[in-house]
Amino acid sequence: MGRGRAKAKQTKVARELKYSSHETDFDALQRELSSNSSNDHHREESDSRYEDPYDDGYDEYRR
């Protein structure tokens, strides 16, 4: 019970996102992407130093 109401709300939100026009702030997007890429680079370096004992080699396929 109650699934119909939740689905109706999801449908309403999805419709609003699909059909509403949003102004994109490209400057904020550029700042966010540039900060994330530097964080990813540092994380990759730190990850490569530690071997995961549970790594079965299929992690790349799960992502």
Q: Is 35 domain-assigned?
A: yes
Residue 33 located in a structural domain = yes
Domain assignment of residue 54, yes or no: no
CB atoms within 10 A of CB 2: 6
Is 30 within the bounds of a domain?
yes
Is 0.75 surpassed by the pTM of this model?
no
Number of domains in the chain: 1
Sign of CA dihedral 31, 34, 37, 42: negative
pLDDT digits (tens, 9 = 90+) for 6-44: 999 999 999 998 888 778 889 998 999 998 766 655 555
